[in-house]
Amino acid sequence: MISQIREPLSKLAQPIIIFFAKMKIHPTVFTVIGLLLSIAAGVFLALDNFLAAFILLWFGGAMDFIDGGVARYNNLESQKGSFLDSVIDRISDIAVFGGIIFSSYVFALEGTIMVTATLVVSYIRAKGESIGIKGMATGLIERAERWMLLMLLLFISLIVPNSAFIGGTIGNPIGYYITIFNGTYLISYFAIGYMILTALSVITVLQRFIYVSIKLTKAEAAQEVQVQK
């Protein structure tokens, strides 16, 4: 989805990209700033501060968008830059989604599954592309969609009073508490939305795994036919 609207977004952001490009700021600077903002967002998520996390994620996403634009405008695209960007993206994912594990909104197991799915989705794509499989941008949600859905959940939790959700009280600012396995957890808009986001990420892992498996099976079958000829 995001891939389809990336070009229109690039046109809208072009004046900003050109401004920074003409300042001769190296793209890596924006990449590193984006990483620092993501780490800070992860810390605030762990502290249940959604407002600060939302703002930091917004600016972090902008940095991630600007660095590629500046690199293309100044003809600074390189394999080294692509490698660095990919590694930093993974660290940012761990920082943000790892921070949520320590928040009061999500089950620890659910948060761990989300972090695992986030990394495996990216790994399957990288591994698939490294062995020559095309069309690896498959599945329900990629990294950009995952981050946008997370920001949407944060935004909803900020503007909608969670205390109105199934019996929450003013004393319980996040909403309704439940007890499972001798532990107390809270149910909120964010908690339910995050469960859905986690499920979508796991489905994407399965989709990409099946896609690669099918492609490899077809390639092996074609190779066997060639050998027999």
Domain architecture of the chain: domains with CATH? 2-228 (1.20.120.1760)
pLDDT of residue 7: 60
Which ranges of 74-102 would DSSP assign to H, the alpha helix?
A: 79-101
* pLDDT tens-digit series, residues 38-68: 999 999 999 989 999 999 999 998 888 888 8
b/e for 25-55, b at 16 or more Cβ within 10 A? bebbebbebbbebbbbbbbbbbeeebeebbb
CA nearest 142: which of 207, 79, 98, 46? 207
Gap between the Cα atoms of 150 and 163, Å rounded: 20
Gap between the Cα atoms of 204 and 113, Å rounded: 13
Is 89 annotated in the active site?
A: yes
Gap between the Cα atoms of 18 and 85, Å rounded: 20
31 to 68, 84, 151, 175: CA distances (angstroms):
9, 9, 19, 37
* pLDDT tens-digit series, residues 5-23: 556 666 677 788 888 888 8
DSSP state letter for 102: T
Please name the amino acid found at residue 17. Answer: I
**183 SS3 class:** strand
Q: Which two tokens stand for residue 50?
A: 């959604």
* pLDDT tens-digit series, residues 133-173: 888 888 888 888 899 899 999 998 888 755 444 444 434 44
Please name the amino acid found at residue 216. Answer: L
**176 SS3 class:** strand
Given the residues 64, 67, 85, 89, the one annotated as active site: 89
Which one is predicted more confidently, 104 or 63? 63
Q: Which two tokens stand for residue 118?
A: 């986030």
| pTM attached to this predicted model | 0.82
pLDDT higher than threshold 80 for residue 179: no
